[in-house]
Structure 1
Amino acid sequence: MRPMNSKETPVEGEVEVEEVEVEEVRVKLGCYTGFVKLVEDPSEEIMLLWGLQQPIFSKPNAFVKQSSLSLHLDAFGHSISVLQSPSSLMTPGVTGSVMWDSGIVLGKFLEHAVDSERLLLQGKKIVELGSGCGLVGCIAALSGAQVTLTDLPDRLRLLKKNVDTNLDSIDILGSGMVSELIWGEDPDPDILDPLPDYVLGSDVIYSEGAVGDLLSTLQQLCGRHTTAILSGELRNDAVLEYFLESAIKDFSIGQVDQMEFHPEYRSHRVVIYILVKRSNEECTNDN
């Protein structure tokens, strides 16, 4: 950050506050045609997120009710009903049995970006990581995309039930299928051939121990046509900074401005990043 010159002299006993001007580099990354703020210094990114957005003062679970057995949301003219399993939250390490704000925000962001012509998803191949209850992948399928929703083996039953309930009974251009995917291990060949146009993930940055495997999987899934879109809740600054420090070595990363979120689904507790491999910063797909 670059200090601004100030001619004011502080009065004795007052605290002098130095004004600073944040220089932002805004670029277009991958197949997202909106401008994003380029992340160049992960530590500065964390300082600004927690200092300016002040997530601790925003209401958590603003768009979800995790004690409920189901969640209902409209997207692309369809009503989505997502089953939740609140009791599974008592199992250590299981968080994908219910919805979180970052999933709602990402799903509605996709809808808003398509409607605003900043994203073209129809006919595109999409892989969602850590799909959980499947809301984001279902919304992507309703946009006309061919979506593979993935998660750990013990999470697939609820995920498949939600996909079948929301996609099999209606006539849509897109599709959704469920597949096992363990980060850090080789994905199913059908996932890699061809490589996806988009990789999606919400709340996939949750522990330092999982960052290496997550990035290994992103490296496998992201080719020269691939744009990754990840959302997350601002809970742990150290984990997010570690992810950004690790990812920035191989990916260009841009933060989506809150004003480009769906106008009814914005939260200072949620951030959305666009990632592309450093050699693939321009989308070569026909948009």
Structure 2
Amino acid sequence: MKEEKAIATIEGWEDGKPYIRDTSKLDRWELQSAERLTIHIGDEDVVLVQDPHSNHLGGYIWLTSIVFCKYLYALSHKRDRHNFIQLDRNKRWVELGSGVGLIGIMLHKLGLENVTITDIAELLPTMERNVEANNYAVHTITGRRENTAKQDNQSIIVEPLLWNDAEAISHIKSMGDIDYIVACDCIYSEASAIDLVETMDHLATSQTYIICISEVRNQAAQDAFLAEAKKRFTVDLIPAIQWQKKVTDISFDETLNLYRLRKPKRATK
């Protein structure tokens, strides 16, 4: 029997004793109960710390982010000029609801030099620890902490962004137009779904691609997101068979929706 490849190496405490072991399954409980994880994506490793007891949903890993990183890795190794996701090193990426920072860090490991990860202020210390655990420098726009290194291809921008906060959105926009906005597992309530869409609207230009990937847990929240998004964007649901076939080394049973959003271009006179 072929041995399954480890998805992650996890560390923590169990029955009062420390443990370290590999796991080859997308087991929510096992991954979220670890205190330290090394996520294995192809030949890349992403080191993460997390708080299994966090009061915030973003305080620990979510399975969809691992699946999406596997997809990004596949795209980076088999370029498809017809795919709307192009991992060009000079494109600007902004992630909403970054949580522990896996996707933003993975994007940087894949060669993207201009990556900004955001979440509520309470989660920034964990995000910063994880950036530094992967040997990158933390860079800030607002000056909330001293930048120990210039913004370059060895740094990741980490900023607070409470959805629909005009001042925070202004800071993110001050660094220039955004090529890609990504939000993973950010659709979890009807009220927050509307704030998420409004934040995307404020950040995006007609040239911005918005990638929203979500496990379907709350259909009402999905419906609220789509209803609001369709008022502001063209919205496409990417067929699962089109993108999930690229994720070959893990299996998952959850229903994952991958949406592509884009602002309609204004007609010129």
Structures share fold, TM-score greater than 0.5: yes
SS at the partner of 2:127?
helix
Q: Work out whether residues 258 and 266 of structure 1, in 8 Å CA contact, stay in contact via their aligned partners in 2.
A: no
Three-state SS of the structure 1 residue aligned to 2:32 is coil
Question: What is the CA-CA distance between 1:62 and the residue it aligns to?
Answer: 5.8
Does the CA-based 8 Å contact 1:142-1:174 persist in structure 2? no
In the other structure, the counterpart of 2:178 is: 196
Deviations 1:65-94 (A, max 9, x none): 111112222346331111111011xx2xx1
Letter in structure 2 aligned against 1:181? L
Whether contact under 8 Å (2:100, 2:127) holds in the other structure is: yes
Match of 1:80 in 2: 46
Deviation, structure 1 residue 124 = 1.1
Helix, strand or coil at the partner of 1:112: helix
Q: Mind listing any 5+ residue stretches in structure 1 that lack a counterpart?
A: 1-58, 281-287
What residue number does 1:264 align with? 249
Q: Is the 8 A contact 1:197 1:227 kept in 2?
A: yes
Q: For 2:118 and 2:134, how far apart are their aligned partners in 1?
A: 16
SS in 2 for 1:87: coil
Distance 1:205 1:130 in 2: 10
- Name the SS for the 2:210 alignment partner: strand
Match of 2:124 in 1: 156
Higher gyration radius (CA) = 1
Give the CA deviation at 1:266. 5.2
Q: Secondary structure at the match of 1:65?
A: helix
Distance of aligned partners of 1:274 and 1:98 in 2 relative to their CA distance in 1, 3 Å threshold: same
Q: Percent identity?
A: 29
The answer as to whether partners of 2:169 and 2:199 remain within 8 angstroms in 1 is: no
Does 1 or 2 have the higher relative contact order (CA < 8 Å, sep 6+)? 1
Larger deviation: 131-140 or 246-255? Answer: 246-255
Map 1:101-250; keep pairs closer than 5 Å.
101-117=63-79, 118=83, 119-121=85-87, 122-145=89-112, 146-168=114-136, 173=153, 175-186=155-166, 187=168, 189-193=170-174, 194-250=176-232
CA RMSD of aligned residues (A): 2.3
2:172 alignment partner, SS class: helix
Write the distance in 1 (CA, Å) between the matches of 2:229 and 2:42.
32
- Which consecutive segments of 4 or more residues in structure 1 shift more than 4 A? none
Which stretch shows the higher mean deviation, 264-273 or 197-206? 264-273
Letter in structure 1 aligned against 2:232: D
TM-score by length of 2: 0.73
Secondary structure of 1:249's counterpart equals helix
Alignment partners' CA distance in 2, 1:227 and 1:274: 7
**Counterpart Cα distance in 2 of 1:196 and 1:174:** 19
Q: Could you list the per-position Cα deviations for residues 169-216 of structure 1 after superposition, in whole angstroms to 9, with x for gaps in the alignment?
A: 8xx946412101111112354521312110011111111111221111
Q: Distance in 1 between matches of 2:250 and 2:260?
A: 18
The CA distance in 1 between the partners of 2:30 and 2:69, in whole Å, is: 13
CA-CA distance at 1:120 after TM superposition: 2.3
1:69 to 25, 28, 35: 35
* TM-score normalised to structure 1 length: 0.69
